[in-house]
Amino acid sequence: MERKDKLVNLCAILLLLPGAGALAWAVYYFPLAKVDVGLGVLSVVMVFFSSYLRIQLPRTKIHLTISDALIIVTLLLYGGEISVLLAALESGSTSINLRRQGVSIKTKTIGLNILISAFSVFVTSQITLLIFGPLEGISESKDIGTFVMVLVTMALSQFLLNSTLVSLFASIKTETSWLKAWYEYCLNTLVMYLTGALMAGLITKSLQQVNIYLLSVVIGFFGVVYFTYRRYVNDVKRTAAKAEQLERDRAEQAEKHVAELEHYVAELEKSSIALRESREKFRHAAYHDALTQLPNRNYFIDQIKALLEKSKNTSDHKFAVLFLDLNRFKMMNDSLGHFMGDCLILQVAQRLSESVGAWGLVGRFSGDEFAITISDVSTIEEVTVFAEKIARRIAEPFTLEGRQVFTSVSIGIVFGSYQYDAAEDILRDADIAMYQAKEGHKPYVIFDRKMHVDAVKLLEVETDLRYAIERDEIELYFQPIIALEDAKLSGFEALARWNHPQRGQIQPYEFIPVAENTGLIVPMTLKILKSACKQIVRWQQDFPGNETLTISVNLSGKHFAHPELVNQIKNILGDTYLYPGSLRLEITESAVMDNAEKAISMLKEIRELGVKLSIDDFGTGYSGLSYLHRFPIDTLKIDRSFVSTMEEGSENGEIVRTVIALAKALNLSVVAEGIESIHQLHQLRILGCEFGQGYLFSRPLPVLEIEKMLGDPARWRNIFPKADPELFHLLPDPQPQLRLAK
C-alpha cells in the first residue's frame, strides 16, 4: 500500500510541473480581446451544466458528455489559452459535483484531474497549431476535408493524452501493466472523444454561419438523443435491478424452503409427543375459564346433566344451582381498567372456591358471571343460608394494587330435580332468578315458575315491539299544555300509545321499560319525535292563531346518552321544517344526574340548535342544586304526585311552592303535571306557576280530537272564574319563600 501511494505521489509531482505550466501559460497569454457574450455563455454551460448532461453507454463505463465537444468548440473559436482554463474549471467542477453525489473522490484526485485536463488541452492546441496553423482560419475555411482532419486530430490528441495519463495512475493502483489498464479502462473512451469532435464541428459551423435553423436542428437532434438515451438507460437500470431482485428473491425463497423442510422434518419427529400434550391442553381449554382456571359453562352443563341423571335414578336426591353476577362490575372495569377488573375476578373466584369447598363446584361463565352447584341438598333453608354467606363474603372489601374496592353479588337459585329435562333449562331459570334479584336489589331470589312465564311474556313483548316500530303501530296522543294566566293553549306533550293487533292499546308503562332495556327506545323515539314535529308544523299552518304552539317530547336516559343525539335532532328539524324553538325535549332529572358533567355538555349542544329543554318529573329524583343552576334548561315540570295531593298546609304543597320559587330564582318557567281540580289550579296560579296540564283540561287525545279542540280556543275559559278575594287569604303566602330563594 505504501509503495503504491509513493508511486502515485511521484506521478502527481511529475505531472504538477507541466500541468501548472499549462495553466500559467494560459493565464499569461490570456486574450482579453476575445472575451464576449458567447464566451460567457459557453463558459457557464461548460462549468456548471456539462456534468449533468451525460449519457452512460449501456454495459460500459463510458459517459458521453457535452464537455468534450465544448472544449473543442472553444479551441476552434477562442484558441488554446481560453480552452486550457475552461477545461481545468470544468474538470474541477465535475469532480466536486460527483463527490457531492456520494462518489468517493479525494481532494488529491480532484487536483490531478484538473492538471490532466489542463495539460491535455494545452498539448492538443499546440499539436493542432503545429500541423494546421492558426485555428481561426481553419474553422472559418470552407475546406470541409481540412476541417474534419482538424477535428479528428483534436479528438485523437485528447484521447491519447488523457488515456495515457489515466491508465498510468490506474495501473499503479491496480498493480497491473500500463497496457492492460489502458485497454481495460481507456480504449472504449475513443468513442466519446470522436462523438465530441462531431458535435463540436456541427456547433462551430452553426455558430460561424449564424444559421439559427441549423443550430436549432443540431441542438434538437442532440437533445432528442440525450433524453432518448437517458430514458433507455434508466429502463435498462430498472430492468436490471428487477432481474437482480428476482434472482435474490428466488435464492432467498430456495433457502427458506430448505430451512422449512429441515424444520418440518425436525417437527415431525416431535409431533407424536406434542399431539398427546395438545389433546390434554385443548380439553382443559374447552372446559375451563382461561383467567381463573375454573370450570366454564361447557363443564357446568355436563356436571348438571350428571346431577339430573342421578336425581332421576334416585328420587330423593336434590341439588341446587346458584347463578351469580357481580354488581357494578362494568363501572369498576371502566374506571379502574381491565387489568384491575381481572384482579377482582381472580379474588372473587378464590373466595367462592374457599366458601364452597368440597360441598359443590364453582365455575365462571363469562365477564362477571359465576355459577355454583351444590349436591345432596336437604332443605331450602340450607341453600339460602349458604347464599347469604356468599353475599356477605363478596361484600367484604377487596384489595387491588393497594386500593380497596367494594362490590356485591346478585344470586339466582334453582332447585334441580327430575322435573327438568335439560341442564340448559336449569341455567336459564337460575339466570332469570338472578336478574330478579338484581332488579329488586336483593342478595338472592329463588326461582319460581311465574318468573319463567313473565320472562317469556317479556320476550314476546320485545319481539312484538320490534315489529310495531317497523309497522308504525305506535300512535301519538297529545295532551294540551295550558297557560294558567289566561287559559290559552300553549302547546302539547306527545305521548306514545301502542295499538297491538291482538292485545289492543298498550299503555307506555308496559312497553317503554322493555324498549329501554333492549335499546329499541332510540329508533322508537326518533319516529315519535319526527311524527310529533310534522304534526305540530301541520297544526301551526292549518289553524290560524296557533303559530306559536310548541310540542314536548320525552327523551329517555338511554337515548340522552346516545352520541348521535344532537345530529339526529338536527336532521329531524331539517326534515320537518319545524322552528327549533317550537320543540321542547323533556329529560328526567335522574337521566341528567347520572353523569352531570357530560349531561351539561350534551344539553348545551342541544340548546345551540335552538331547542327548548325541560327537566321532567322534577322532585321525584335526586338533583344536586350545585348542578341545577348550571344546567342550560328552560323549564321545570313538577311531578303529578306532588300536584295531585297538594292541599293547604300539606308537605307536598310546600314542595310545590319551593319548586316554583326555585324556578323563578333560576329564571325558569314551570309546568305542573296532573292538574285534576279547580282547587289545584287556583293554588298553582297564586304560586305563580305559568303552565299546567292534566285531566282538568284534557286527557291525552288522538289527532282528530285535538283538531276539534283547536277549533274552539276558548273552551277552557269557564274553568278560570274571577278570583275570589277571600281565596288569597286562605292560601299560604308565597312571598317569604320567594324572597328566601332569591
The pLDDT tens digits of the residues spanning 96-130 come to 877 777 777 778 778 877 887 888 888 888 888 78
* 8 A C-beta contact, residue 82 and residue 121: no
Candidate from 25-39, 203-217, 606-620 with smallest mean pLDDT: 203-217
Task: Return the top range by mean pLDDT from 83-92, 228-237, 540-549.
Answer: 540-549
Per DSSP, 46 falls in state I
pLDDT at 49: 63
Nearest alpha carbon to residue 610 among 574, 646, 654, 649:
574
Nearest alpha carbon to residue 671 among 492, 414, 474, 466:
492
* 8 A C-beta contact, residue 110 and residue 15: no
Higher pLDDT, residue 55 or 546: 546
Give mean pLDDT, residues 70-80.
78
Question: Cα–Cα distance between 537 and 529 in angstroms, integer?
Answer: 12
> What percent of the residues of the chain are helix, what percent strand, and what percent coil, each to the nearest 5?
65, 15, 20
Nearest alpha carbon to residue 126 among 44, 45, 36, 25:
25
Higher pLDDT, residue 250 or 166: 250
Higher pLDDT, residue 412 or 199: 412
C-alpha cell at 300: 357446568
Question: Cα–Cα distance between 418 and 429 in angstroms, integer?
Answer: 15
Q: Where are the alpha helices (DSSP H) in 288-422?
A: 297-313, 329-336, 338-356, 380-395
C-alpha cell at 25: 501559460
* 8 A C-beta contact, residue 349 and residue 294: yes
Give the tens place of pLDDT for each residue, 618-657.
Answer: 766 555 566 677 888 999 999 888 888 776 556 778 888 8
Q: pLDDT at residue 52 above 70?
A: no
C-alpha cell at 688: 305563580
Tell me the C-alpha to C-alpha distance, in Å, between residue 224 and each of 72, 221, 693.
Answer: 22, 5, 91
C-alpha cell at 58: 449501456
* 8 A C-beta contact, residue 678 and residue 659: no
Task: Return the top range by mean pLDDT from 43-52, 454-463, 485-494.
Answer: 485-494
Question: Cα–Cα distance between 658 and 672 in angstroms, integer?
Answer: 13
pLDDT-derived band of residue 396, with 50, 70 and 90 as boundaries? very high
Give mean pLDDT, residues 337-366.
89
pLDDT at 50: 63
Give the tens place of pLDDT for each residue, 151-199.
Answer: 778 778 777 777 777 777 667 666 677 777 676 666 666 666 777 777 7
Tell me the C-alpha to C-alpha distance, in Å, between residue 555 and each of 134, 363, 524, 741.
Answer: 105, 41, 11, 29
Mean pLDDT across the chain: 79
Give the tens place of pLDDT for each residue, 436-479.
Answer: 898 888 899 888 877 766 666 767 777 888 888 888 888 999 99
pLDDT-derived band of residue 734, with 50, 70 and 90 as boundaries? very low
Q: Where are the alpha helices (DSSP H) in 440-520?
A: 449-470, 508-518
Q: Is 615 exposed, middle or buried (0-12, 13-18, 19+ CB in 10 A)?
A: buried
Tell me the C-alpha to C-alpha distance, in Å, between residue 381 and each of 320, 446, 480, 594, 650.
Answer: 12, 11, 55, 38, 46
Residue for cell digits 456520494?
Answer: 102
Give the tens place of pLDDT for each residue, 265-276.
Answer: 777 777 767 677
* 8 A C-beta contact, residue 203 and residue 219: no
Tell me the C-alpha to C-alpha distance, in Å, between residue 173 and each of 166, 167, 182, 644.
Answer: 11, 10, 13, 112
Question: Cα–Cα distance between 506 and 460 in angstroms, integer?
Answer: 14
Question: Cα–Cα distance between 631 and 549 in angstroms, integer?
Answer: 24
Candidate from 44-48, 530-534, 647-651, 677-681 with smallest mean pLDDT: 647-651
Question: Cα–Cα distance between 513 and 151 in angstroms, integer?
Answer: 103
pLDDT-derived band of residue 315, with 50, 70 and 90 as boundaries? low
Q: Is 677 exposed, middle or buried (0-12, 13-18, 19+ CB in 10 A)?
A: middle
Higher pLDDT, residue 726 or 172: 172
pLDDT at 98: 73
pLDDT at 541: 93
Question: Cα–Cα distance between 398 and 473 in angstroms, integer?
Answer: 50
Question: Cα–Cα distance between 472 and 496 in angstroms, integer?
Answer: 11
Helices (H) and strands (E) in the chain, counts: 29, 18
Phi/psi for 635 (5° steps) reads -140, 145
Provide, rounded to the nearest whole percent, the portion of the chain with pLDDT above 90: 22
DSSP secondary structure string, 536-580?
HHHHHHHSTT-TT-EEEEEE-HHHHT-TTHHHHHHHHHHHHT--G
Residue 34: CB atoms within 10 A of its CB come to 14
Give the tens place of pLDDT for each residue, 511-550.
Answer: 888 888 888 889 999 999 999 999 999 999 999 888 899 9
Per DSSP, 699 falls in state -
Q: Which residues contact 588 (CB under 8 A, 6 or more apart)?
A: 557, 615, 616, 617, 621
Beta-carbon-side half-sphere exposure of residue 646 (alpha carbons within 13 Å): 30
Nearest alpha carbon to residue 665 among 653, 675, 657:
657
C-alpha cell at 4: 503504491
Phi/psi for 493 (5° steps) reads -105, 125
Q: Look at the alpha carbons of 294, 300, 302, 304 in this order and tell me if their dihedral is positive or negative.
A: positive
The strand pairing partners of 497, in sequence order, are 475
Question: Cα–Cα distance between 294 and 680 in angstroms, integer?
Answer: 63
Nearest alpha carbon to residue 374 among 392, 390, 362, 391:
362
Candidate from 56-60, 380-384, 679-683, 718-722 with smallest mean pLDDT: 56-60
C-alpha cell at 205: 459551423
Helix (H) or strand (E) holding 284: helix 212-287
* 8 A C-beta contact, residue 295 and residue 289: yes
Higher pLDDT, residue 320 or 175: 320
Q: Are strands 474-483 and 488-500 parallel, antiparallel or unpaired?
A: antiparallel
Higher pLDDT, residue 11 or 301: 301
Q: What is the dihedral of CA 300, 304, 307, 312, to 10 degrees?
A: -160
Q: pLDDT at residue 741 above 60?
A: no
Q: pLDDT at residue 574 above 60?
A: yes
User: Which conformational region is residue 362 in: left (phi greater than 0), alpha (psi within -120 to 50 degrees), or beta?
Assistant: beta
Candidate from 167-176, 336-345, 544-553, 587-596 with smallest mean pLDDT: 167-176
